[in-house]
Structure formats: structure tokens, C-alpha cells
Structure 1
């Protein structure tokens, strides 16, 4: 049952709260008011349509406001000339041959004269002053102009002091209306909310960017979109960082509400590396495949002969002992510090241990120092250093084309594209493997078609300046697709490689990346006499 707001409030008790109500009608101020015409004319029909409520394809409805044209105009669609000061009533909108028109009626003509004005028609359309009085409720419902203030004057004999004691008794000026609106809206997930008009937020109208649902997607789902759909504009709705095995989340330069232009998908190659300091691993890195620092190859460290044998998966290698070893087993050889060897292949020999024959695994080598063949038992420890070939300085890419991984290197000059190269500070690096990360190549911010039309020759060099990669396995953001960008797609040209940085990772992460890393393990035990076993 409809009742006044005051009556409804007085009828409530705490036992029946909360309640929901709908406002069906109301007078915000008592009395009648005259609407003061807006003195600033509209310069185009499009401006007029944007500000005044006009129905679509109506032949009977008329706007409650009428306008006069201050200058004569004519259009290509109509041979007649609209004379100066002729008054127009706005009837409706209609489309013809892909263009929108405003249907108007020229007042005071017999028979009635109607015409179509295109959106780009220029004139000086000024609101006509009317003498009719209205309630404030009527003015707010049907006579507001979007983006402009409305002024009203009280009817003769109506005292504005009844509205507020602050109004002087003899006040005869006008009032400026400041309507307060509440917008019903749907958030992602079809959640309906009421948004007040005084909320301190900024918005972008994306109505004309296509019919899109509010269904969010993950970065992995964006990566799997058909490649012909890129570039895309997306909006970050939430950010959840992937955790490594240590439980720590990595920081990433994304935040809720951020707009990104996703240029393309790309499989990004990276080196896995470990810092070697005094023979032990310290920090671990992911190094861009495009790293341009100059490096020299260095030898690897091996604790025992068995470590040398494991490292021979890529072929023969040369190594040097750092301490003496005395063999008590024939035919296994002894060696002294500084002796150099060429590892050939693994083998199994029969050895006499305290009068008993045992099968012993050995590494057949050529002793470079004495120029003799030798057999070194796998359990022998010698703190060996690989003798690397002196191939001269080069980039990591160049080095890995010649030598298989893993290998040890020393950075002798930093990457010139980096302000600070953390690898240049290291004593030695062990390059473990090359991995491939699925990434989105992105740019912060938005682009418009004006940029495309004005700078088509340089657009991609501009795009590549601030591009960066988003590894889809490391970040679980929820995003909305805001817009497809076919005007970039049609250029048929790839941007430069996105800016890549050296990333420090944990030891646990480095182990998950590679299948070829040589995990440290103790050498095999020497065979024991059966009487002791």
C-alpha cells in the first residue's frame, strides 16, 4: 500500500526491521516553480541529443523542451533552409543508411513541417523560455539537461523561506538544483548494487566497445586465446601472485583497476644460473635469453671422479686435480695435485682387494701431464677443476651454441641495456639449463585509433619502449577483456622484444625448472673385503 514517507517511518518498530521500500512518487519542495532557460546554445545536433532526453524512433512523443535556432542552417539531406529564430520540438531519433538523425517539428507551421537533422549538423540551438510552472519533482524527472545546471525561480506569492530559515524573507532570486542520483548497476558476477552519484570514483564508458559479459578470465586463459584476436585491452580485476616452494610470493607490477594492452603471446627463453662462490652455490637467477653482457667460459668444479663421469654426458672433457690421491687398488692409478687428465669413458675393471677380486667402476683417462693412459676409480676424491677451452669472450647465446650445458662462466662486462647488472658483481656463474616461459607481452595504458592514423610508421617503435612480459604461470590475475584492437593487428608487424630483467629466484624454484641440473651427491664407497661386509 502506498503511503507517505513520514507515515511509513512512524508505523515501523524495531521488531519489523530491516525493510525494503520503493519510492513511487514525491514532491521534494512544495509549490510551483518556473524553469529558467539555459542561455548557452548547443552548437551541434549531437550535443543537443546528448543533453536532452529524446526517445528512439518515436512519432508521437515530444521532448518537454523546445529550442530555437539562432542562425539559418541547411543540410544536404533537406533542400529547405531553417530560418533564424524558428522554434523546434524534438520528436525522436531514427537511423537511415547507417546514419543517425534527429526528427524535429518546426513549430508554428501549417501544415506541420517535420525534418531530419543529422548528428553533425551545426547551428546555435538555444532553449526556449517557457511560462508554465512546474513542481520540482516534474523538473527533475523530465527537464534536466545532462552536463548542465538547472535554475528555477519560485512562483509569485510563494515564500522560499519555508524551505530554509537561511533564505531571506524578501529573496527574489533563483535556485540552482543539485540533484542526487543513485545508479543501479551490475558488477562482475551479476551482482546488483546501487551506486550513489557522489561516490569519489573515476569511470570510463565502454558501452561502444562491443557487447561483453562480465565474465573474468585468468592470464592463462588470455594466453590460450586465438592469436588472431591480439592485440587486446584488458582490465586487472584482482591480483593473486603464485607462490614458490618456500611459500613466499613474488612482487609483480600489476594492480587492481589497471588497464593493459596485450600485444601478443610469446614463449620466452631464459637461462637458469647459480652463483658460485668459493666452489659453493649461493644465489640463483633467471637470465633473459637476450642478455648482452660479455662472458668467458670457466671450468666446473668436481669433488670426485664420479662427478666428472656424470658431467661427461656431452662428451670428453679435460680436468685438473687440486690434491693428491693414493690408490691402494690395482689397476687403479694414483695422482698428485696439478695433474691434468682427458676423460675418455667409463669402464669396469677387476681389482684385487686384500686377496679378493672385486668389480670396480673406473673412468678411463689420458694423463696429459705424463702422457700415459690411466684408470681412475669413481670413488677417488680430488677437488677437480674442469679445463675450459679458451673460446674468447662472447654472449651467453653464442657460448651455448658451442658448448652444451651446464657450464661455468665469468661476466667480464655488464649488459649495456641495464642500469645495474647484478651478474657483473658475481665471481662465477653456473649456467644450468635453458627454459621456456609462456608469457604475455604487454604495455601499460591504452591506445586510440588516432595514434594509429597519425603515427602508423612509428607506432611499433613507440609500443616497444615500455613493453614488458607477464609470465602466466607466475601470476593468477583475474581480468576482463575491454577491447580488441584490430587497428594494431592490421599492421602485420612484430614489436621489438619486450624489456626483460634478471630475476633472482630461490634454490627450490631453480630445481623445479631444470631436468639437467647435476645434484651434488657423495661418491661411491670403495669396495670392502667380503670378510668385513
Structure 2
């Protein structure tokens, strides 16, 4: 049965590839092939095509009046990396069974692959009862005794329930409302249902993106339609053709009546790497090879190559030692013949020193930042102090009355011709620069083997076998050694030219030939220093060793409780009877961008002194029959002194302190004056009675 190409791809299960289709009604694009950017747009009626893959190329956005109204007004195409966030609207059409959901929605171990649904009727599964409207999270597929189930979680306020629903379970299931925001790439990968439209709402745009085109869409719902790029092979062509899925073409699936082996069977380098070792060596022809990968300029489409073996090659990630964002990144193979000399390293903390002393030699550093120790067990640091770092050890320090274990480095402080043994805690936020005494020259393998990375070097002897662009750089940072999956490849007509081809970074399509490869010994691979872009650099660096722990947090400094003696002393002064009242400002009404205003702090200090002075006068009364009043005074004084810690306020601190409501200070003052007046009145009455 014929169907549109777009519908065929939308329903196609990637696990059933390859599929053979026949064009029922062709199309011819009347234009230059250079305008189509390598995409195939001329398909004749009756032509046979083998589909070997497909991927989402872009997204067609259609504006609609509502979720159920599909009268579209305009269409805009957006790339997958569109800088914005979208809110996914729930699909109003129900699903008839759990199986229907799994056929339409992608379910996986990723957090995005756990869709939420609810049922419009109660569900009883074994001893678990699911009420109507409760959220059911679909987690993963499972098979028990030959029957397939869906592992689910029922979201409840008290405790979530785990339940297993059979795929054959029938009911009426609706998609739950989703309050999360997603990028266009995330929606296309996880949230696009098959044979259904996904309606979203644009929540936020992170950058300017043709605002004239999107202004009319901001207030309406958007329907997303993916446009696929199909990779296919034709009978009379060896190269892979790329066909957009939105061509006006009707096709029919003829896989069952076709011989797939009559087509060219292109393979990627990753596909070849998955083959067993017994398949190598093998002979292959390059079908497709991008021109931008010029570092392997001998490899071109149509060349016949011998693939000798697969292996993991040791490669080192190296970056230009600069502080700006324009620094270059390189991949250096183990066969690099250049030599390096050491360059001084910089260590922002003592913890970084601990990581660096794992090599066999001791570390000599100079401090470039001052540090004052709060504990007598540890040494303070001044700018210019020199240390010989030996090893890490644990120390017991007293902190707020408790004994705590703190990691510290055992060092020797250079004092002229003498040495003083000191301890430096690993949490010091100082700065140290390495002193180099080593004049040796090292190759790349020795550095990765004998020293802790990262490691600063400079090329002292360039590799004369290549155009060594590393020698022109003043300083390099050797960051990490990785195992790169590679294929050892040589040209059939030039066996001496041999390459290590990284399968994850080189896009090449080849066809394995039926003729067996001759057992020709491979020569030494050609040394290639590869400069990589930032995207590839960060993609490789994310696989860094995860055994390193973050720097330790410093122990809390002991702080004495705040009392009236911790405030600066003052002489008793006559209290002003009617101090001027400031305008009423609540803490939320005060401006929060001036927390360090010195005038405001001095004003608060003066008010605090007035309060404390009132209590001082009261305490001079020798006879206090009303003990509750005295307790009230003390409580109010504590509240005032805790609220206004003048001595501990740091004018250079950037913390967001709250201002104190001056009305509260005024209420405290009135309460103290009232208590003082009552106490004097009681004392006078007592004397008269005596």
C-alpha cells in the first residue's frame, strides 16, 4: 500500500533497518544541485532505494489557534540547536492500552524517557489499587515468563508504589500535564510521539533569533513536525544519498520481495570496530569521505584500503597554556618524537599541591598569596615564602570545643640556609608557583608515566618528521592521556603509508570487498598532531578520571558568643528624650543593594548604645523587687545585641544582610523605659513603707 515518504519515515522502527522501498510517484526538482547542499531531490517513478538510516535534520513549526484546532496559519523551520525553552502541552487524545503508549512514546533510562500518564478509571493490579487520576510513571520494559510488562511507579503523597502493568492491559490513558521546560533537541529526541502531533508553547528565548518571524508565535500554541534526513543507497550508485523526508513522494515497502545484497552495503568505521578480531585484515573501498578532514589527505573516495586491525591507541590531550578563551587544543599520539622541558605550574590551593606530589620527587613552591592561620597547629603563609612539600597527613585540631581531623601537608619552610618543619592545611585558598630545578628533556610517554597531570611543558626539540606546530607555542599544558579506539589502515597501492584512524572522530563510509586482504605487515603509523575544536575538546574531557575528590572544606572558625562586652566600650551618656524618628521602612522595603552602608551601621550603633545605657542605669538600682522586669530587660537586651552585631559586621563583605526595622528598635526602647520607670516607682514605694 502506497504512502507518503514522510509518513513512512515517521512510522519506521530504526531496529528494522535496512528497508527497501520503491518510488510510486516520482519528483524532479528543477534547480541546481548545488543549491540543495548534497541532498537528493530527483527520484524517478519505479526506482528502488535501500534506506540504511535516518535522523532529524530540522523542525517545522506550525502555529495553530488551539490544541484541538489544526487550522495552521504560518510555518517556520527551526534548527535543532534553537536557543530557547518550550513547555510541552498534554496530548488530548487518549491511548487505548499500555502497548499503544509504548509504540508511540519513547521510553528509556534517561530522566526524559519516563512519561507520566493517568487513567480515567480505577485500576486493580494484584494487591495494588490505582485510583482514577493518579500519576503513573512508565519506567522500563520487562519480560516475565514470556509476557511483556511495563515497570511503573504510582506517585502518591505518602509513599510511591511500584507496579508492573502488562502491555496488553486495556483502558483509557491520558498524558499528564508537564510543568518542565525542554530544549528543542530534548523534545525531538524524547517527546515526539509517532503518528501524533506534539503541541508546545514557547516559554523563553535565550538569544535573539529572527524576532520578526517568531513574534506572531509567542502568544499561540506551536505544533512541531520533524523533518528527517534519510540516508539511502541506490542500485546504480556507490555513494550514500541524502533525501529529505518532506519530499512530495509516495513509496511502498518492498523489503520482503527484494534482494538486499544487490545493493552497496556501506559501513561506518564504528561498525567495523565492532567486528571480531578474526575478521581482520580485510579489504575495503572508501565510498564517502568528507573533504574537511584534511589531516588524512591521502584517503579519498574510491581508494581501496587495507584495514589491518583494531586497537586502542594512547593519545594525550594537550592545551595551550593561556588564560583566555582562544587557546588551542591538540591530540598528540604516542609516536610523537618531539622532546619537552618542564615549565612552572601554578597551584591555587594546598589541595592542588597534594595532588601534584604523587610523583616520585618533592615539590618546591613559592607562595604568591598571604594566608593567616586561625589554629596554632598550622603555619601562616606570607608572600614570597618558599616550601618543600613532602607528604599529606591528618592532624587533630580543636574547633568550638570539639576535636576535628584536618588534612594537612607536611612541608619544610626555607629560612635562608635553615629549614623549619611546618604544616599547611589543604583548605588554604592561597596561590603557589613551582620552582623548576630539572633541566632534563622528556618524551610524551615519560611525562604521562612519571608525573601527575596536568603538567606544564615547552617543546625543546621539535619532531622533524612532521610539520610540528607545537614548537611555536611558549607553553603547553599536558592534561590527560586517553585510550582512543582506532583502526590501523594503509593504502593498497602504497603500503608504506599507514594511519591510525580514530573511529569516533572520522566520518567515513566504506564497503567491505569480497576479495580477502593479503597478509601484508603494517608499517609504523604516520604521526599526526591533530588540532581539535572546543566542542570535541570538552566532549573528550568529560570522560576524565572521576577518582579525584573536590577540595576539603575548611573547619568552622571558633566564635565566642555575642554579649554586651563584645561591642565597643562606651561611656554612659544622658539619654535623649525625644530622638528623631526615621521614616517607617520594613525589611522588605529597604533597598537591598546597599547592605554595607557605613552611615546606616553607625546609626544602628548609636541606637544600640541608647538601649544598653538604659539597662546600665537600671542595673545601678540596688533594690530590684520586680525580678520579672529584670529578666525582661535582659531578654530584650539579648534580642537587641543579637540583632545588631556591630563588631562582626564587615564593610567589605558582599553577603546580602537584611536591614533592621527601626520601629522594632523604638519598641524595645519604649519597653525598657517603661520597665525602668516601673522599677523606680516600686523602689520609691518600698522606701516610703520602710
Q: TM-score, normalised by structure 1?
A: 0.49
Higher-Rg structure is 1
Query: Which protein is richer in helix relative to its size?
Result: 2
Query: Which protein is richer in strand relative to its size?
Result: 1
Structure number with greater CO (CA < 8 Å, separation at least 6) is: 1
